[in-house]
Amino acid sequence: MQQRSVSLWSENRLYVDAALDADGTLRFQGQDLNPDNPFGGNEYEYALTVSPADVPRVVAALNGEPGADVLDLLKTHARQIVGQGESRFLKSCGIEFGFWSRVGD
């Protein structure tokens, strides 16, 4: 399987994508270009990674059937997920995730 991705959000200088890597890892990637973002700087980038073993839990949290396409479900529920924040969404599901971020100028 090769990496596939979908755009979840592209409004108000906030861009969020979700990708399913070749190994089954789910990745949220975001970029906030608002100069008044809460992290300082003119650019904030972040990534959240969910292990392949936890992807079925994401599917279940979005009321998907076992084996449903997680990217399709994320796209369908994008407003809800991005609205509350991807990390809050994952935490509310009890899913641990990796986190990376960078603040730029």
- Confidence category of residue 83, pLDDT binned at 50, 70, 90: very high
Per-residue pLDDT averaged across 45-65, rounded? 96
Cα(90)–Cα(81) distance, integer angstroms: 9
CA–CA separation, 1 and 104 (whole Å): 33
pLDDT at 66 over 80: yes
pTM of the model: 0.89
Answer yes or no: are the C-beta atoms of 52 and 24 closer than 8 Å.
Answer: yes
What is the pLDDT at residue 76?
A: 97
**Tokens for 62?**
């979005």
CA–CA distance, 1 with 84 (Å, rounded to integer) = 30
pLDDT higher than 70, residue 37:
no
Higher pLDDT pick, 36 / 52: 52
Range of the domain at 56: 4-104
Query: At 86, is the pLDDT very low, low, confident or very high (cuts 50, 70, 90)?
Result: very high
The number of folded domains in the chain is 1
